[in-house]
Structure 1
């Protein structure tokens, strides 16, 4: 046989006037008709025929006129086993496990004129989604691109409630003493290897200026929903289709978050939207042309480049030796399909059918904004990381802006952030909101050491220290005592 001649030049399986591949029948039976054979409509059934799934005692798909229905060979299942290895059909369907080698490929279809080069790094094709134009139509699910759905108008009674009464927001905070300020600095120095401890031990305090920083925070817990077509191999699972009723709208499906103010995502099948369709990737066959050998069942040896031999220079002259990888043939059996020329379809997992349904994705999201009021040179981000006294806290479906805090900057920040959250998440439904105000003590310590004046900050209930001007610090790994 010439290398340029296709491996399979014989006629296709009998009973197919269009030359398309079919599943061969058992001995003495005509083959099962190809789904697109002339005059046959397995999907959906022709008028007067039973739809899928079949009633008890009926065949799953009506055969063509004058033909017997397809039945699997004796002792074999009509579908491959779920999970793990896929048993082969008697027609030469390759098993997923090693073995079951053949020398003559069984793929009946288009193949290249020459054996392709062997590619040890070849990757199987990824599964593909069915085309949207072949999916069923459901009212309320016209946008199926996975974009967020617009929520329904809010019906929360909290929007019509009265603002809460004013609360006492006293801003009393503890004052840092000299002993506490020195101990805080010593602890800070011990955590920095490049800081010397001598200034912290010998410094003289000149002034301690106490102040308070205010930290306002607002959290909105929202729900976002999106829909998208999904699919999975059909292996006999229950189908909840439109025959069970009308599909509910996306926002009518009840779902509750596991806990408030915790991000979470769930996926669920929309009721009454499932259906069984033939796999678009393999046209319902359950198998496809091998992606490595392209149906020829063999590949060109990558060691000898298809020559069957290699030339070696030994003792001053050239010697030709048989390639030990292909045993001198120049070709090797395809390691992907074991020589069959076709592999299991990755989209339907060799089932030939897909369960298609609408998948609803629900996301619970926590949106957080805050504002810090701090009038010293202490960086604002440091205020967010320490604890303080919570003087105001409120949790409602819709919070009202704070308007009675002693510092007008907090009142203004609360008004702006609340308005931003009410209008900033148009594609999400607000479930709950909460906001609070914390007062963080800040002490600006002025001191003197070795004819040098410097200052540092002690802030938070943890007595954290910020001392960028500490007089004895080094970044060269020196040991300072």
Structure 2
């Protein structure tokens, strides 16, 4: 099982999405719909710096779950043809500088074995809320503090939710959290001792290295003193505090950061046919099942039993990962049937093999007969 994050550009938000907890389980389509597939195919108010705030109990998912599965009529993927296998290998070899193309063009295909497999994918669109202290120089004026009104709890602030299953982040100042405090960098003085001259207002003359002399003559740059006025503080020994812009006061407020993230967990059925299944991350398959709701429940009674266990594991993983400090707004689970064919062929009296996989007809091979030793698989 793998866990991945998919990032997208955040666009104009949609209306807030309600969410609820199902009480029924998702089920797979009936077994008879699989008739065409072979066995092998198959974030409290006013506080600063609170990260990962847990949502209130009344905002956790609860309610009904709709189990609506569109009918599927054809789930089988036949083995590819000799021509498709040859073209896939030729294309693969063409992108390998140290491979000779002759075997790919002139091989004798002996056997095509369909080893199609299944991939389960769970997408959880989650929302996380955190608060951070933000400050700026205080130039006077109204202070929207808690004396004006109580500050709202972080999860009580209503915002529009961005498009589903797209990563996005929003920063919102929390009302009634303002306060005025002395700047900690200058202790409210508005000035700091110049760090270049240590408050003396003078620095060693670089022309004479502080000696006051240049080539047996008095240094013209420092008039023989060996020191020059500090250019950073103009000889005053102090500089305006950068953080408060010399005001000595800072206006603090709490900023709410809302993060929406689409988290993805996958499970691929490994039938131990000698093909490294991690390569399937590179390709797409034929979607044969889709279930989207506020939350989803594990698949049951799928013709490939390990998919049931894989979906249960992925859903449990997301529940443990996000339940304490986030809320799940929407979930979607899909199952893909991924084409995978083992091709056995003869070249110069020896038998070799390669795999063609995915809708993209990508190739994996370990024993291609015409490659030099410098090649890297």
Per the TM alignment, residue 324 of structure 1 is displaced from its structure 2 partner at its CA by 5.0
In 1, Cα distance between equivalents of 2:65 and 2:258: 31
2:90 corresponds to 1:186: yes
Residue aligning to 2:347: 449
3-state SS of paired residue (2:309): helix
Deviations 1:270-322 (A, max 9, x none): 10111333434334442222121122211122453422125x6xxxxxxx233
Aligned ranges for residues 453-468 of structure 1 at < 5 Å?
Answer: 453-468=351-366
Q: Secondary structure at the match of 1:257?
A: coil
3-state SS in 2 of match to 1:146: coil
Partner of 1:109: none
Tell me whether 1:432 sits opposite 2:335 in the alignment. Answer: no
- Residue 174 of structure 1 and its aligned partner are, at CA, apart by 3.7
- Could you tell me how far apart the structure 1 residues matched to 2:278 and 2:270 are? 10
The change in CA–CA distance for 1:452 and 1:325 in structure 2 (over 3 A counts) is farther
Preserved contact between residue 66 and residue 293 of structure 2 (Cα < 8 Å): no
- The match for 1:384 among 256, 260, 281 is 281
Identify the residue that residue 161 of structure 1 maps to in structure 2. Answer: 64
What is the deviation of 1:163? 6.0
Go from structure 1 to structure 2 and tell me whether the alpha carbon gap of 1:217 and 1:436 turns closer, same or farther (over 3 Å shift). Answer: same
Measured after TM superposition, the shift of residue 395 of structure 1 is: 1.5
- Which protein is bigger by CA-based radius of gyration? 1
Distance 1:443 1:235, change over 3 A: same
TM-fit CA distance, 1:437: 0.6
Alignment of 1:116-155 (within 5 A): 140-141=44-45, 144-155=48-59
Q: Which residue matches 1:366?
A: 262
CA distance in 1, matches of 2:292, 2:92: 37
Post-superposition shift, 1:328?
2.5
C-alpha distance in structure 2 between counterparts of 1:154 and 1:456, whole Å: 55
Any conservation in 1 of the 2:46–2:254 contact (CA below 8 Å)? no
Instruction: Indicate conservation of the 8 Å contact 2:98/2:371, yes or no.
Output: yes
Given the alignment, which residue of 456, 460, 474 partners 2:372?
A: 474
TM-score (ref. length: structure 1): 0.64
Cα shift readout 1:31-80 (whole Å, capped 9, x = no counterpart): xxxxxxxxxxxxxxxxxxxxxxxxxxxxxxxxxxxxxxxxxxxxxxxxxx
Cα distance, 1:183 vs structure 2: 0.9
**1:406 corresponding residue in structure 2:** 303
Q: TM-score, normalised by structure 2?
A: 0.81
**Given the alignment of the two structures, is residue 216 of structure 1 paired with residue 120 of structure 2, yes or no?**
yes
Structure 2 CA distance for aligned equivalents of residues 166 and 250 of structure 1: 37
Deviation string 1:311-348 (CA, Å, 9 cap, x unpaired) is x6xxxxxxx23345534220011011111211111110
CA distance in 1, matches of 2:220, 2:187: 40
SS in 1 for 2:115: strand
Question: What pairs up with 1:241-320 in 2 under 5 angstroms?
Answer: 241-310=145-214, 320=216
* 1:286 and 1:344 in contact (8 A); partners too: yes
The answer to whether structure 1 residue 331 and structure 2 residue 222 are counterparts is no
Structure 2 portions without partners, runs of 5+:
1-43
SS of 2:51's partner is strand
Cα separation, 2, equivalents of 1:278 and 1:239? 15
Q: Decide whether aligned partners of structure 1 residues 238 and 267 sit closer, same or farther in structure 2, where only a CA change above 3 A counts.
A: farther
Q: Extract unaligned runs of 5+ from structure 1.
A: 1-139, 313-319
State the alpha-carbon separation in 1 of the partners of residues 238 and 197 from structure 2: 9
Cα distance in 2, alignment partners of residues 248 and 234 from structure 1:
23
Q: Is the 8 A contact 1:164 1:400 kept in 2?
A: no
Q: What is the root-mean-square deviation in Å for CA atoms of aligned residues? A: 2.2
Tell me, in whole angstroms, the C-alpha distance in 1 between the residues paired with 2:374 and 2:112. 32
- Hey, what's the Cα distance between the residues in 2 that align with 1:226 and 1:175? 51
- How many residues were matched structurally? 329
1:34 aligned partner? none
1:383–1:298: structure 2 CA closer, same or farther, 3 Å change rule? same
| Residues in 1 aligned to 2:184 and 2:56: alpha-carbon distance in whole angstroms | 36
More strand by share: 2
Give the C-alpha shift of residue 211 in structure 1.
Answer: 1.9
Which of residues 245, 252, 263 in structure 2 aligns to 1:349?
Answer: 245
Distance 1:362-1:165 versus aligned 2 partners, 3 A rule: closer
d(CA) in 2 for partners of 1:155, 1:184: 51
